[in-house]
């Protein structure tokens, strides 16, 4: 299978976008501050990489879930004293 080639301009924009989102660099656009649910992130991963079928794929998706919750979501909730309530629609 041939490797996909990307233009230099595209890769530079992609690198900048990823840096801004991952490291909250100064000048990052507002979209980097939008909070997604862990479920949204897991569904996005399954969409991009496919639903896990092998034990190895399941283990990697489990590692992503653990990273998102334990290392990122829970500390942020504790840091900002966020309270979540269900709306009555």
pLDDT greater at residue 13 or residue 73: 13
Give the predicted TM-score (pTM) of the model: 0.52
Dist. CA 16–CA 25, nearest whole Å: 10
At 46 the three-state DSSP class reads: helix
Reported as a single tens digit per residue, the pLDDT across 44-88 is 888 888 888 888 888 888 888 888 778 777 776 677 766 777 888
Tell me, yes or no, whether 12 lies in a domain. Answer: yes
Per-residue model confidence (pLDDT) at position 9: 92
The mean pLDDT of 11-36, rounded to a whole number, is 67
85: left (phi over 0), alpha (psi -120 to 50) or beta: beta
Tell me, yes or no, whether 85 lies in a domain. Answer: no
DSSP label at residue 54: S
Tell me, yes or no, whether 74 lies in a domain. Answer: yes
Q: Total domain count for the chain?
A: 1
Per-residue model confidence (pLDDT) at position 22: 67
Tell me, yes or no, whether 25 lies in a domain. Answer: yes
Assess whether pLDDT exceeds 80 at residue 37: no
């Amino acid at each position: 299978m041939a490797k996909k080639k990307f233009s230099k301009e595209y890769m530079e924009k992609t690198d900048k976008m990823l840096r801004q989102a991952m490291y909250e660099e100064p000048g990052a656009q507002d979209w980097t501050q939008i909070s997604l649910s862990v479920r949204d992130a897991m569904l996005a991963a399954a969409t991009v990489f496919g639903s896990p079928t092998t034990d190895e794929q399941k283990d990697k998706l489990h590692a992503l879930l653990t990273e998102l919750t334990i290392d990122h979501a829970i500390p942020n909730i504790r840091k900002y004293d966020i309270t979540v309530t269900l709306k009555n629609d």
